[in-house]
A and B are shown apart, each in its own frame.
Chain A
Amino acid sequence: MSRRDKRPEDKKPAAATGAAETALVQGTAPAAADTAAPQTPSAPRRDRREKKDGGGLAALLTGPERPYVLRLTVTLFGISAAAALLLGIVYCITKPVIDWRTEEKTKAAMAMVLEAEEYPKVEGLTLPDGVTALHEATDGGVTVGYVCEVSSNGFGGAMSLVVGVDLDGRVTGVSVIKHSETKNIGTKVVMSSKVLSRFIGLESPVTLNGGINRFDGVTGATFSSKGVTAAVNAALTAVDAVLS
């Protein structure tokens, strides 16, 4: 604060706030802080000073309302800190369980799209947009194909899929792990193994409702069909890059 602000008439409220502060520090009832914020004669002056300082915040922190403002801050900070601590504990307890579940689900989906003994992750690749991980599918140490974890956009937002590709670059299966498509519309694509099995055997690039590598989507669920097709293409691109 500049020296200009320390006028004689400001001394009284300053003393009052000082007293309130000690009350707050000592932990005596916050009510004491309330009563210690008296309406001082300098209260009307505050408006003028606010303009001079160019903001109300500085005035709040120096003015007669200081103990009240401090109390608001301290209370909200205390509640938030306690909340954060509690959430941290719950997060630490649940995280391993949630991770384990996600992993199990991904493994089950991988087994569905391309059967193999192990799925070691291939590291150090520059993957195309949407492909989050590429796994080698090995059976007794022999590579039988690749499985990609892909994220894509459907009608209701992001969805994650697993796409299996064999060594000829043909799709062996598609499985949707997570989605938020409309019930009974988008789910006709993403939840139907019958529809998803139409991808099997197709090569890159897969096109929707036409072309040589044709995937017939579901009428009324164009966005969901497009999203799945885009995911399959991303996976095919990634595997083609590895194969060549």
Chain B
Amino acid sequence: MNVGKQIKEGLWSQNPVLVQLLGMCSTLAITTSFSNGLGMGVSVTIILTLSNVIISLLRKIIPDKIRIAAYIVVIATFVTMVDLLLQAYLPDIAESLGVFIPLIVVNCVILARAEAFASKNRVLPAAIDGLCQGLGYTLVLLVMSVIREFLGNGTFGAGLLNGGEGYKVFSSDYSALMMVMPVGGFLTLGVLIALMQWVQGRSAGKGGK
């Protein structure tokens, strides 16, 4: 199995958010601060890797007809576990992510990888796939969070760095509140996707100038 290819696909050429356009709901909703993006990204990566491993292990036992139900049970189990653990040990992140942690159950990144990859491959490649796709998801979330938090709040790393205050770059009096609202999410995501397409087009020698 080609690990390098899997890493490249997860982070760039088959990025779950920018290329596969999966998991939009959480991507748009929670990328308002650095700590949210990081918390969500890491949670999804952990759940994705674990559920990929289990589904890959069970791929010969689960009959075709009930595979979606079986996947959902496996995913929901890990999501609930992560939810409980976050509430117990990282209550601040659990609070700011709120309902979006339980909603990971229906995050299509996880179901899509289970269906498209884990159910057809052996355990190790499935685990690596989960990790790479999860990291790709986390990366985009972090980029979006940093942009939106900076423009919408004037800070960097709020809720995590500098004792939870974050570093103030400019006063929030001059920030564009719109950027931390849902509108800002759509704008940022659109610009990122366009940017990625442009870079890809250039490197393929097709687009750009």
User: Which residues from chain A sit less than 8 Å from chain B, CB to CB?
Assistant: 30, 68, 71-72, 75-76, 79-80, 83, 86-87, 90-91, 93-94, 97-98, 101, 180, 183-184
Is B70's CB under 8 angstroms from A79's CB? yes
Residues in B neighbouring A101, C-beta threshold 8 A: 87-88, 91
User: Which residues from chain B sit less than 8 Å from chain A, CB to CB?
Assistant: 32, 58, 61-63, 65-66, 69-70, 73-74, 76-77, 80-81, 84-85, 87-89, 91, 98-99, 177, 180-181
Query: Could you tell me the distance in whole angstroms from the C-beta of A112 to the nearest C-beta in chain B?
Result: 18
Is A72's CB under 8 angstroms from B65's CB? yes
Q: Of A75, A87, A90, which contacts B70 at CB under 8 A?
A: A75
Residues in A neighbouring B61, C-beta threshold 8 A: 30, 75
Inter-chain CA distance A75–B66, complex, in Å, is: 9
List the 10 closest pairs (A to B, CB-CB), nearest first.
A97-B88, A94-B88, A83-B77, A94-B84, A90-B81, A98-B88, A98-B87, A72-B66, A79-B70, A79-B73
Interface centre among B69, B77, B89 (most CB of A within 10 A): B77
Query: Could you tell me the distance in whole angstroms from the C-beta of B31 to the nearest C-beta in chain A?
Result: 13
Known: A68-B63, A76-B73, A183-B180. 11 other contacts (CB 8 A): A75-B70, A76-B70, A79-B58, A79-B70, A79-B74, A86-B77, A90-B81, A90-B85, A98-B87, A101-B87, A184-B181
Residues in B neighbouring A72, C-beta threshold 8 A: 63, 65-66
Q: Tell whether A87 pairs with B66 under 8 Å between CB atoms, given A97-B89, A101-B91.
A: no
Query: Could you tell me the distance in whole angstroms from the C-beta of A94 to the nearest C-beta in chain B?
Result: 4
Q: Of A76, A83, A90, which contacts B66 at CB under 8 A?
A: A76
SS of B interface (majority): helix
Q: Which residue of A lies closest to B76 (CB)?
A: A83
Residues in A neighbouring B70, C-beta threshold 8 A: 75-76, 79
Q: Of B80, B87, B177, B181, which contacts A87 at CB under 8 A?
A: B80
A-B contact pairs, 23 of them (CB 8 A): A30-B61, A72-B63, A72-B66, A75-B70, A76-B69, A76-B70, A79-B62, A80-B73, A83-B76, A83-B77, A86-B77, A86-B81, A87-B80, A90-B80, A90-B84, A94-B85, A97-B88, A97-B89, A98-B88, A180-B98, A183-B180, A184-B177, A184-B180
Residues in B neighbouring A30, C-beta threshold 8 A: 61, 63
Residues in A neighbouring B181, C-beta threshold 8 A: 184
Inter-chain CA distance A125–B68, complex, in Å, is: 49
Residues in B neighbouring A98, C-beta threshold 8 A: 84, 87-88
Number of A-B contacts (CB under 8 A): 56
Is A87's CB under 8 angstroms from B77's CB? yes
Inter-chain CA distance A68–B64, complex, in Å, is: 11
Query: Could you tell me the distance in whole angstroms from the C-beta of B154 to the nearest C-beta in chain A?
Result: 13
Residues in A neighbouring B77, C-beta threshold 8 A: 83, 86-87
Inter-chain CA distance A89–B61, complex, in Å, is: 25
Is B73's CB under 8 angstroms from A83's CB? yes
Query: Could you tell me the distance in whole angstroms from the C-beta of B178 to the nearest C-beta in chain A?
Result: 10
Is B177's CB under 8 angstroms from A75's CB? no
Query: Could you tell me the distance in whole angstroms from the C-beta of B171 to the nearest C-beta in chain A?
Result: 15
Residues in A neighbouring B91, C-beta threshold 8 A: 101
Q: Of A75, A80, A91, which contacts B84 at CB under 8 A?
A: A91
Q: Of B58, B63, B87, which contacts A71 at CB under 8 A?
A: B63
Query: Could you tell me the distance in whole angstroms from the C-beta of A5 to the nearest C-beta in chain B?
Result: 25
Inter-chain CA distance A33–B80, complex, in Å, is: 34
Residues in A neighbouring B180, C-beta threshold 8 A: 183-184
Inter-chain CA distance A86–B77, complex, in Å, is: 8
Inter-chain CA distance A72–B77, complex, in Å, is: 19
Residues in A neighbouring B58, C-beta threshold 8 A: 79
Inter-chain CA distance A180–B84, complex, in Å, is: 19
Residues in B neighbouring A76, C-beta threshold 8 A: 66, 69-70, 73
Residues in B neighbouring A79, C-beta threshold 8 A: 58, 62, 70, 73-74
Inter-chain CA distance A92–B2, complex, in Å, is: 41
Inter-chain CA distance A98–B61, complex, in Å, is: 36
Inter-chain CA distance A83–B62, complex, in Å, is: 15
Residues in A neighbouring B87, C-beta threshold 8 A: 94, 98, 101
Is B73's CB under 8 angstroms from A183's CB? no
Query: Could you tell me the distance in whole angstroms from the C-beta of A11 to the nearest C-beta in chain B?
Result: 27
